[in-house]
Amino acid sequence: MARYPELPRFVQTEDDAKEFYRYVQQWGAALINQLDIRDQEVNRKPSTNIYAVTTITDIGLPKKGDIAYSASTGKFKGYVSLASETSWHDLN
């Protein structure tokens, strides 16, 4: 889990206004940097795996969102998570 920067507590004085503004700028830059790093991590992961197999039982441990083309049935199947079960369902 990403750890995002936090703002410290400031006392409201006239001298603190400039320091607070600089700190908020630094905080914003650090937050943007952390979000960009997280975006890159997410974008590197495939959203799904696509398998070409004879039967879907050839796939050991599928994950939610995986897609397989079953040559034995001639159909694309998706590994779908419903409320109480996760199983393969025909997509076509």
Residue 39 lies in a domain: yes
Say if 5 falls within a structural domain.
no
> Alpha helices, DSSP H only, in the chain?
14-44
Domain that holds residue 59: 50-90
- pLDDT digit string, tens, across residues 69-82: 888 888 888 888 88
Give the integer Cα–Cα distance in Å for 58 and 55: 6
Number of domains in the chain: 2
Does residue 61 sit in the same domain as residue 33? no
> Does 85 share its domain with 55?
yes
Tallying the residues shown for the chain, one arrives at 92
Residue 2 confidence (pLDDT) above 70: no
Answer whether 45's CB lies under 8 Å from 62's CB.
no
Among 44, 48, 37, CA closest to 1: 37
Query: What pTM does this model have?
Result: 0.45
Q: Percentage of residues in the chain with pLDDT exceeding 70?
A: 90
Closest CA to 48 of 90, 77, 84: 77
